[in-house]
């Protein structure tokens, strides 16, 4: 296949927090891969801006090490590191003071796209926007990229939106949810809106239920302090799982443009019913002989924060009334797996009563570890023995289906940063979407806080607490296995 990589326009990208973990692990390795793919123009400039006292040479060394560690370049790409580093500069800056701002101003050019990536704690967002404005660095064509967490409740999200809105228009603000940058997530839209096959069946008449699972094998790691103030609901459901739910449930937008898509997603969030306490399960992984448990990991023996959550959501509109959406996410589970499963209803009548078991079509969309889709269809088991039915997957692994071409598929961060430069907001969250998601989440959190609910313990390496299994068993359904 012919490569379709088109270089983006020349740009200045300022990464505030350019020495931080996210910059070193994701942002700069991602930019390096786009450089290797030939997408970075000659006049691209990437300016790391952070508190450290580095010069350009030491910054380039730091980033070269990060690229080797996190981008794991092939021998061919390794040879390109020097070329990439020439695009980098560093400014030692104080987001809250005067140090470094004039140096930054002198590096910025007027004839290129200008983007500011706020890869710093959200508490600094407002101050950074203010400083950029007071040094005259923002014009109508400037963009700002902000990281999660975007608030910890509706009030703080509104305050962040308001702080950004003082100096940036909404069409200049790019709120990252890296799940939206995944190839499969976009493929979900292609499958829904590019085929005649699925859309007529995409409603409560034909869909029995939908499951969205984001399972991790790791615990909270070094993020214990932060995580104890957050939990699975704030860290995963309010943003990533909510975005996936929106893309599955939304009406077809009239066109594939940022506001048309985001308008439809917003309608879904606003149509979500409150979740009843009995439809919500929270858990904490407990210690075993070899591994510490959640309470030790966050250093808080009385913590009531959840490392696992499962819930049943309902969308009150014509398309989805009566079809539950089961969401779950947790840490220290059996396998690392993110999957959306659309489970279709049984056939209205079986003409094969002795065919063995019930059979259902399931469209499953895997986001990690490998991106791909499978559609389970029921066929006759080959060979003698009468009409016995068996479900087999029609498999579409991107790596296999697209062969070498799939090696060029950018990862989520790469794609999203290139979208910022291109000025395409489709895969970024709009301010009102984020606020609507918090408006749905807040009462659930305050509900369990008021009741004083304690998360149920679960074993490391399991599928979560037993109550999560019961959530579906009660409805005569079962979770798909996490594998
Ligand atoms: P980090 O602590 O590793 O790095 C923070 C960076 O901010 C450093 O470069 C530091 O020099 C800079 N900084 C701090 N205070 C400053 C100031 N006053 N002036 C100028 N620079 C200052 O943090 P991180 O893990 O890279 O996270 C950055 C942001 O991204 C946070 O909001 C975090 O929640 C979010 N995030 C991180 C990850 C991740 O995997 N690390 C994932 C998703 C979101």
Percent over 70 (pLDDT), the chain? 96
Q: Would you state the structure tokens that stand for residue 426, as one six-digit string?
A: 């489709």
Q: Which CATH code, of 3.40.50.720, 3.90.1150.10, 1.20.120.1760, 3.30.1280.10, is assigned to 11-147?
A: 3.40.50.720
Sheet hosting strand 308-313, strand order edge to edge: 389-397, 372-380, 362-368, 337-344, 207-215, 325-330, 308-313, 280-286, 456-459
Give CA separation, 78 vs 29, 47, 53, 397, in Å: 12, 21, 27, 28
The answer, yes or no, to whether residue 380 has pLDDT greater than 90, is no
Domain 180-473: which topology? Dihydrodipicolinate Reductase; domain 2 (3.30.360)
pLDDT in tens, 214-232: 999 999 988 899 999 999 9
The answer, yes or no, to whether residue 2 has pLDDT greater than 70, is no
Per DSSP, the three-state class of 46 is: strand
pLDDT in tens, 90-132: 999 999 999 999 999 999 999 999 999 999 999 999 999 999 9
Write out residues with Cβ below 6 Å of ligand 1: 16-23, 50-52, 93-96, 119-122, 124, 147-149
User: Which of 177-181, 279-283, 371-375, 408-412 has the highest mean predicted lDDT (pLDDT)?
Assistant: 279-283
pLDDT in tens, 128-180: 999 999 999 998 889 999 998 999 999 999 999 999 999 999 999 999 999 99
* Atom nearest to 23 CA in ligand 1: 26
CB 227 within 8 A of CB 305: yes
Parse the chain into domains and list their residue ranges: 11-147, 180-473
83 confidence band (pLDDT: 50, 70, 90)? very high
Q: What is the pTM of this model?
A: 0.94
Ligand 1 pocket mutation pick from 16, 17, 69, 157 by most atoms within 8 angstroms of CB: 17
Beta strands in 227-356 (DSSP E): 280-286, 308-313, 325-330, 337-344
The CA distance from 288 to 294, in Å, is 11
């Amino acid at each position: 296949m012919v490569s379709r990589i088109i270089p983006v326009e020349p740009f200045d990208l300022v990464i505030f927090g350019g020495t931080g973990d996210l910059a070193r692990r994701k942002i700069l390795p991602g930019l390096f891969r786009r450089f290797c793919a030939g997408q970075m123009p000659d006049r691209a400039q990437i300016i790391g801006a952070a508190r450290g006292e580095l010069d350009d040479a030491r910054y380039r060394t730091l980033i070269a090490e990060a690229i080797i560690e996190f981008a794991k370049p092939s021998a061919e790409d390794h040879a390109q590191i020097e070329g990439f580093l020439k695009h980098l500069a560093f400014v030692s800056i104080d987001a809250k003071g005067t140090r470094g701002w004039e140096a930054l101003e002198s590096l910025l050019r007027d004839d290129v796209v200008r983007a500011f990536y706020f890869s710093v704690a959200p508490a600094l967002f407002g101050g950074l926007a203010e400083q950029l404005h007071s040094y005259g660095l923002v014009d109508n064509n400037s963009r700002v990229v902000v990281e999660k967490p975007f608030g910890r409740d509706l009030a703080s999200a509104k305050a962040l939106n308001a702080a950004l809105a003082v100096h940036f228009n909404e069409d200049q603000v790019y709120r990252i949810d890296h799940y939206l940058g995944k190839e499969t997530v976009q493929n979900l839209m292609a499958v829904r809106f590019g085929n005649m096959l699925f859309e007529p069946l995409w409603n409560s008449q034909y869909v029995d239920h939908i499951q969205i699972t984001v399972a991790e094998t790791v615990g909270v790691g070094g993020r214990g302090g932060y995580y104890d103030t957050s939990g699975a609901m704030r860290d995963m459901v309010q943003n990533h799982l909510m975005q996936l739910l929106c893309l599955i449930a939304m009406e077809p937008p009239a066109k594939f443009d940022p506001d048309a898509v985001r308008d439809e997603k917003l309608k879904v969030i606003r149509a979500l019913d409150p979740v009843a306490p009995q439809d919500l399960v929270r858990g904490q992984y407990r210690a075993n002989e070899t591994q510490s448990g959640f309470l030790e990991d966050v250093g808080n023996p009385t913590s009531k924060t959840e490392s696992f959550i499962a819930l049943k959501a309902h969308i009150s509109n014509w398309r989805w009334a009566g079809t539950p959406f089961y969401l779950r996410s947790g840490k220290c589970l059996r396998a690392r797996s993110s999957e959306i499963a659309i489970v279709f209803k049984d056939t209205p009548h079986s003409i094969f009563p002795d065919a063995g078991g019930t059979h259902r079509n399931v469209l499953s969309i895997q986001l990690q570890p490998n991106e791909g889709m499978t559609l389970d269809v029921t066929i006759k088991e080959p060979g003698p023995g009468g009409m016995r039915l068996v479900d087999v997957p029609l498999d579409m692994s991107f790596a296999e289906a697209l062969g070498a071409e799939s090696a060029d598929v950018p990862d989520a961060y790469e794609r999203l940063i290139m979208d910022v430069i291109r000025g395409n907001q489709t895969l970024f969250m709009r301010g009102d979407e984020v606020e609507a998601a918090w408006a749905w989440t807040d009462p659930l959190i305050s509900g369990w806080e008021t009741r004083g609910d304690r998360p149920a313990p679960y074993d490391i390496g399991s599928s979560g607490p037993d109550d999560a299994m019961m959530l579906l068993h009660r409805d005569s359904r079962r979770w798909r296995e996490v594998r």
